[in-house]
């Protein structure tokens, strides 16, 4: 997976060109399904409130599936968040054009946008600094995901 880190702290989740899915023929990707996740805090009054009236963010664990990709051979492949954070947006264009995951994995075929937890965000910033990457939009390939 590729995590494109924006200076505003948001992360765009994409399929790495080296990922086996990106090596598939576009016709092999037949469907993208997004599981239901907690509503982002930015959804305001539609957000379910707790008993004490607060509405904390819905944090996904790093291994939570943001999307399930169904292939023509019947295989279903989960796409993990790869970091702990709040799911801000899913790429709804994949519902009608799932082949974008293969044809444009780092562009129009992005999976979703996440807001990392404070701890996760600090970890990403430290790693980018360690790699000599300061500011700007940089990609981090999580090859083991």
Question: ∠ at Cα 127 (109, 134), nearest 5°?
Answer: 80
The pLDDT value recorded for residue 57 is 53
| Local confidence pLDDT in tens for the 145 residues of the chain | 888 888 888 999 999 988 888 888 878 899 999 988 654 544 443 434 334 333 345 788 999 999 999 999 999 999 999 999 999 999 999 999 999 999 999 999 999 999 998 888 888 778 778 877 765 444 455 544 4
The pLDDT value recorded for residue 128 is 75
Please provide the DSSP assignment of 16-57 as one string. Answer: -TTSGGGGS-GGGEEEEE----PPPGGGGGGSPP-TTS----
The pLDDT value recorded for residue 137 is 46
As given in the structure block, the two tokens for residue 43 are 């959804």
**Domain definitions of the chain by residue range:** 2-39+60-133
For the domain covering 2-39+60-133, report its CATH number. Answer: 2.40.50.100
The pLDDT value recorded for residue 144 is 43
Question: ∠ at Cα 142 (101, 57), nearest 5°?
Answer: 80
The pLDDT value recorded for residue 90 is 95
The pLDDT value recorded for residue 80 is 94
Query: SS in 3 state form for 92-110?
Result: CHHHHCCCHHHHCCCCCCC
Q: Quote the CA–CA distance of 9 and 5 in Å, as a whole number.
A: 7
The pLDDT value recorded for residue 100 is 95
């Amino acid at each position: 997976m590729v995590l494109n880190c924006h200076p505003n702290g948001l992360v765009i989740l994409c399929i790495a060109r080296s990922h086996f899915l990106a090596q598939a023929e576009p016709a092999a990707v037949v469907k993208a399904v997004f599981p239901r996740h907690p509503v982002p805090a930015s959804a305001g009054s539609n957000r379910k409130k707790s008993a004490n009236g607060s509405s904390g963010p819905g944090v996904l664990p790093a291994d939570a599936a943001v999307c399930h990709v169904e292939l023509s051979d019947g295989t279903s492949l989960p796409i993990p968040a790869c970091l702990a954070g709040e799911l801000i947006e899913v790429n709804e264009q994949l519902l009608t054009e799932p082949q974008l995951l293969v044809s444009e994995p780092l562009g129009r075929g992005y999976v979703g946008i996440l807001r990392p937890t404070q701890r996760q965000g600090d970890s990403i910033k430290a790693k980018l600094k360690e790699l000599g990457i300061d500011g700007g939009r940089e990609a981090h390939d999580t090859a083991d995901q």
